Amino acid sequence: MRNIACCVDFSENARTAFDTALELAQKFQANLHILHVLPPPVNPLLEDAEWIMPEEPKKALFLKVEEKIQQDYVSRIGENVNYELVVLDGHVSSEIIRFLAEKDIDLVVLGSYGASGMGLVLFGSVVNSVAHKAPCSVMIVRHKGQVP
């Protein structure tokens, strides 16, 4: 195992998934890819042409997300783990699957569901899609004591 990806969304489940991915990266001396995908903004009142976010606000948003990843995840990585921090935007499961194929990932680690109250519905469907379409092995991590 040379390349491990961990999908994070700042939820408790993502932290548990990250801990597992970090432990595996250390054990196998693998590269760790920390991945976050910003979903497209959804506003039914906007016309198709208005949905495109201007580049400057998008760059600022990417920087904020990267800072949060540094703070919540990267700060816990020891010196002996090579890592890459990746922030993408688009359809979440499609971007994850594309990234896994492009980077020749051996294992992707995801939390069982995500951060919001709708996390089980939204992120759960992402996990389901990735589990069925990923070009690599998938590990779905559940927070200890969590009832499905």
Domain ranges of the chain: 3-141
The per-residue pLDDT for 25 is 97
Predicted confidence (pLDDT) at residue 65 exceeds the cutoff of 60: yes
Question: What is residue 50's DSSP assignment?
Answer: G
Question: What is residue 141's DSSP assignment?
Answer: E
What is the four-CA torsion angle of 18, 133, 131, 72, rounded to 10 degrees? 20
Asked if residue 83 lies in contact with residue 33, where contact means CB atoms within 8 angstroms, the answer is yes
The per-residue pLDDT for 145 is 64
Determine the residue type at 15. Answer: R
Written as six digits, the tokens of 104 are: 């020749």
The per-residue pLDDT for 56 is 60
Helix 119-133 / helix 92-102 crossing angle, nearest 10 deg = 30
Tell me which fold the domain 3-141 belongs to.
Rossmann fold (3.40.50)
Asked if residue 117 lies in contact with residue 145, where contact means CB atoms within 8 angstroms, the answer is no
b/e for 43-78, b at 16 or more Cβ within 10 A?
eeeeeeeeeeeeeeeeeeeeeebbeebeeebbeebe
Model pTM? 0.82
Residue-wise pLDDT for 13-60, tens only, equals 899 999 999 999 999 999 999 999 988 765 555 555 545 555 567 788
- What average pLDDT is seen over the chain? 84
Q: pLDDT band for position 122 (50/70/90)?
A: very low
What is the distance between the alpha carbons of residues 93 and 131, in angstroms, rounded to a whole number?
A: 10
The per-residue pLDDT for 129 is 92
